Structure 1
Amino acid sequence: MKHPGPILFVLLIIWGCKEEYPSAEKKTRPNILFIAIDDLRNELGAYGSVARTPNMDSLASRGSLFTHHYVQVPTCGASRHSLLTGYRPSKPIHLSNRAIEVEISGKAEDSVPETFIHRFKRAGYHTVGIGKISHSADGYVYGYEEPVSEKRELPHSWSELLFDAGKWETGWNAFFAYANGENRQSLEKQVRPYESGEVEDEGYPDGLTANLALSKLKELQENEQPFFMGVGFFKPHLPFNAPKKYWDLYERDSVPISDNPRIPENINLASLQESGEFNQYALGEERAGLDTSVSNAYARKLRHAYLASVSYIDAQIGKLLQELKRLELTENTIVVIWGDHGWHLGDQRVWGKHTLFENALKSTLIIKTPNAMNANESDVSNHDHKVEAVVESVDLYPTLLELADIPLNHKIDGESLVPLLTSNGSRNQGKAYGYFNQGITLRTPDYRLTKYFREEEPHIELYDHTADIPENKNIASEHPEIVARLMPLLEQERWRR
């Protein structure tokens, strides 16, 4: 007779992957609408920007607006890997856009869920992914100019994975879409980094994504299971393309340019980057670089394009929020709006992300819980609730599980933000870590300390955030006592795993 051990082990694994909650209990659990937006820095009206974003502003006024939310890595795929797993980077692949493909795709299901979405699915949720939630534009693994594959980036997380590529035919074509049906690849990068299209919302892919999500919401309303629906919008990622009506919301002359357009003092240029992604758009009127700034007129045009793209996405989100209300789902749906990182709009002479500066790491985060879940509603009301504490993307994993009353059965790096949803959250609270460009950065309420592991000096940068001061001067050499006080916190994270 064969030893039963291996069989028993397999049965235990299978049992562990099964649904954990009875159907009667599922109905009381909140739905989750998780909206991921590419390259969305704190460029909303709610943050004090000139951006016309009435729908996200309204949601922020009824929920919690996080004013100091930081991603782990200032590039799309790696940032999303940390978000989805709850882990800060611990090896080089975690800093790459291929992090999810290498670390998750193609792996067998394990007792530890591959993502927090997988955890929701195991807890009885019907999980639907539409658009860019992981790194790929549509959730499948294939190259920019390759046919769509059947290999999912997240093989175990989604009950359904949907996308409407429209006339662009593939997810990656849609990601770099122009209104005429062409894309950056098909036009061999002979394109501008912006476009004002004489089209309706559906004339660009994000309008199709919104429509697909609206249709799916109607279906999910009838489902006995609670749902987790992830909707990933492309804009304002390059190219800054949006229907003309969103450009028309702004007067070009009134669009502000960067208040911090110069290279910071006392740094090495290796801490910045040459705007390579932006310069791929070969028909741009001016080329960006660290050796010279683009003209104020061109900077204003590009910022106008970015704002138009943000307003376009705000309108798509407004459709989803209105449909939640029409379907009477608002009172039992948690809504999260998350930007996967920030973007330098000419700040420190950079057009792009890929740095360890505030502009690249700080992004939008709004969490709106159902009214029934707001503690002390009569006192707090969750209206105009700004959370000033420093928080990280990895914190969303335990936060969403706690809001849904789903246990977290393994150790991650994030900490739940639930206590901050019903309190003002002290400005003197929290810390956040960022990783990129051969460096680690620590953001506290008062300072940013960055250490680079490279030949170019200086290796240490310190920026003052005790007042509303942009990161325009490295003060590490002037304040060694502050560096000495903060460095153990930074080194602790470096050697943690």
Structure 2
Amino acid sequence: MRFLPRIVTFFLLLPSYAWTQTMHNKRYNVLLICVDDLMPELGCYGNSIVKSPYIDSLAARSAVFTKHYVTVPTCGASRYSLLRSTLPRTKAALGNEAAKILSDPETAIGNEPETFIEQYRRNGYHTVGIGKISHSPDGYRYPYAGPKSDQRELPRSWDEVSFNPGKWGHGWNAFFAYADGESRITMQGEVPPYEAADVPDEGYPDGLTAALAVDKLKMLARQEKPFFMGVGFFKPHLPFNAPQQYWDLYDAGHLPLTAVPNIPANINLASLHNSAEFNQYRLGEESAALDQPLSDGYARKLIHGYYACISYVDAQVGKVLQALEETGLADRTVVVLWSDHGWHLGDYRVWGKHTLFDRALRSVLMIKTPAMSRCKVVNRITSTIDIGPTLLELCDLPPLSQADGRSLIPLLNDVQDKAWADVAYSYYNHGISMVTPQFRLTRYFRKEQPVIELYDHATDPLETRNIAERSPDIIRQLTPLWERGNTGVYAK
């Protein structure tokens, strides 16, 4: 079976002091690394099979959040929530086009900063976006099939945006890239969901993104102005395409399959989905569906591809972090590594995100300040909306007036902070889900029954059995807290 989420035991903890110690003027630089579709399947999160040495090395000097949850389990909406530090309040904020809210004249946000990144720009920082930070892979708004437009997705946040599409021509082709220069788009879906090509790292777009980021860090090191740099990598998002050398790190025949191959008990199938995104790759050997799992052999091939992509993107992250050290920027730069949601690798027969289960909602988060030198494991419940407030406070910048999130600095100083409320809310699929230290409570706004799901993580951490029907007292006790996350997003 695949590993339960747990942090590796060799990380040593420091005393609570010094974790947020700052320079006298608090003018830290910030490096935000966004990784697409990365579940917490890394060495530093307890998976001893995945090869992720560079991210693990960062984790060994960072605060590692083991119970971090996204607000929406789809790329664009999760990133919108990150950038705005807000819970979704409209249906538009639940989709991949959520960033349109920021740039469309009819829905633009007036004079307040469009994102927490613009707050940096307004306060004297040079802001640089490389790759996928919001939903667009290159920072510009245009349809998957192109052509590329000149309309920025975050028009007020960046001083500059940069992306090298290589032989793929533009961002969306690069996002779904194959090594021969084609993409899922150009091939109209007539492609497999994986590829192992005998090419160097730059033979796929993430290698080009890492090279751009390294060059930009060298330039930024020569200026006195503080900077905020976002770097967005594509993998391990579908298709699971990576250079052959990263596939060679794994023996596919011995890769563990999901520990939860069956549908959770006492739920409606409407809580899951038939892996539509995965099935867009029409040359796959099998189609995924809820009525039966994929064959073990094909499932292992896909897990092999996902793990190879993790190792590939890990190497690209390593290049960026090495450049940060070599340029002398590391001692005055806050580093954040975040993934926009998790992923079902065959769990409950689903291949993809887009559910309100832990596998889709729990994601990677680690934060390193220059004062940190050893790992600090944070087993408290946190949300993506907490990242912006944390970074602004670390750099002594004004908070966003509309932010729903809370600064994580109290937990950086003391993981046992008694004032911290261990709760996070997530929204999707006509449902609102709340996680606490012991329970996940989900309510769906739909006709299909049951509309309430309750999972006890103390006895069922993999969420295999909905116990709502036999637990009315627990639901009654949790409902007032759940109501605090009911933003009206599903109001009729």
The TM-score, its normalising length taken from structure 1, stands at 0.91
1:237 positional shift: 0.4
Cross-structure match for 2:396: 405
1:415 pairs, out of 406, 410, 421, with: 406
Residue identity opposite 1:37 in structure 2 = V
Cα distance in 2 for residues equivalent to 1:207 and 1:72: 29
CA contact (8 A) 1:27 1:224 kept: no
1:488 positional shift: 1.4
CA contact (8 A) 1:75 1:341 kept: yes
For residues 260-271 of structure 1, what are the structure 2 equivalents within 5 Å?
Answer: 260-271=260-271
CA contact (8 A) 2:102 2:114 kept: no
Cα distance in 1 for residues equivalent to 2:488 and 2:204: 44
Distance 1:80 1:495, change over 3 A: closer
Cα distance in 2 for residues equivalent to 1:157 and 1:122: 9
Residue identity opposite 1:281 in structure 2 = Y
**Are 1:304 and 2:304 counterparts?**
yes
Residue identity opposite 1:112 in structure 2 = E
**Are 1:448 and 2:440 counterparts?**
yes
SS at match of 2:99: helix
1:467 positional shift: 4.4
Q: Deviations over 1:97-122 (max 9, x none)?
A: 11111344556673310000000001
Distance 1:420 1:28, change over 3 A: closer
**Are 1:393 and 2:392 counterparts?**
no
CA contact (8 A) 2:194 2:305 kept: yes
Cross-structure match for 2:211: 211
SS at match of 1:397: helix
CA contact (8 A) 2:249 2:308 kept: yes
CA contact (8 A) 1:218 1:327 kept: yes
1:386 positional shift: 0.9
Cα distance in 2 for residues equivalent to 1:105 and 1:223: 34
Cα distance in 2 for residues equivalent to 1:54 and 1:484: 45
CA contact (8 A) 1:105 1:155 kept: no
**Are 1:220 and 2:220 counterparts?**
yes
Deviates more, 1:29-38 or 1:463-472: 463-472
1:423 positional shift: 2.3
1:313 positional shift: 0.4
Distance 1:467 1:61, change over 3 A: farther
Cross-structure match for 1:84: 83
Cα distance in 2 for residues equivalent to 1:201 and 1:122: 36
1:478 positional shift: 1.4
Cα distance in 2 for residues equivalent to 1:425 and 1:347: 32
Q: Deviations over 1:189-209 (max 9, x none)?
A: 110100001100000000000
1:27 positional shift: 7.5
Residue identity opposite 1:309 in structure 2 = C
Identical counterparts, % of pairs: 55
SS at match of 1:419: helix
Cross-structure match for 1:181: 181
For residues 25-36 of structure 1, what are the structure 2 equivalents within 5 Å?
Answer: 29-36=27-34
Cross-structure match for 1:356: 356
**Are 1:471 and 2:469 counterparts?**
no
1:135 positional shift: 0.4
CA contact (8 A) 1:105 1:154 kept: no
Q: Deviations over 1:328-347 (max 9, x none)?
A: 11110111000000100000
Q: Deviations over 1:282-314 (max 9, x none)?
A: 011111000110011111111110000000000
Residue identity opposite 1:60 in structure 2 = A
Q: Deviations over 1:377-431 (max 9, x none)?
A: xxxxx52311000000000010000110112151410000011113234799511
Cα distance in 1 for residues equivalent to 2:282 and 2:325: 44
Cα distance in 2 for residues equivalent to 1:426 and 1:301: 43
For residues 17-56 of structure 1, what are the structure 2 equivalents within 5 Å?
Answer: 29-49=27-47, 50-56=49-55
For residues 264-413 of structure 1, what are the structure 2 equivalents within 5 Å?
Answer: 264-371=264-371, 383-413=374-404
Q: Deviations over 1:270-292 (max 9, x none)?
A: 00000000000001111100011
CA contact (8 A) 1:27 1:225 kept: no
Cross-structure match for 2:482: 490
The TM-score, its normalising length taken from structure 2, stands at 0.92
Cα distance in 2 for residues equivalent to 1:389 and 1:223: 38
Residue identity opposite 2:477 in structure 1 = R
**Which is higher, the Rg of structure 1 or of structure 2?**
1
**Are 1:462 and 2:460 counterparts?**
no
Distance 1:343 1:483, change over 3 A: same
SS at match of 2:195: strand
Unmatched 5+ residue regions in structure 1? 1-24, 375-381
Cross-structure match for 2:8: none
Cross-structure match for 1:140: 140
SS at match of 1:454: coil
Q: Deviations over 1:26-61 (max 9, x none)?
A: 985111000000001101110011210011111111
SS at match of 1:145: coil
Cα distance in 2 for residues equivalent to 1:109 and 1:480: 42
Cα distance in 2 for residues equivalent to 1:344 and 1:321: 29
Cα distance in 2 for residues equivalent to 1:41 and 1:388: 16
CA contact (8 A) 1:431 1:443 kept: yes
Cα distance in 2 for residues equivalent to 1:51 and 1:155: 38
CA contact (8 A) 1:260 1:470 kept: yes
SS at match of 2:411: helix
Cα distance in 1 for residues equivalent to 2:104 and 2:309: 31
Cα distance in 2 for residues equivalent to 1:31 and 1:54: 24
Residue identity opposite 2:75 in structure 1 = C
Question: What is the root-mean-square deviation in Å for CA atoms of aligned residues?
Answer: 1.7
Cα distance in 2 for residues equivalent to 1:471 and 1:451: 15
How many aligned positions are there?
464
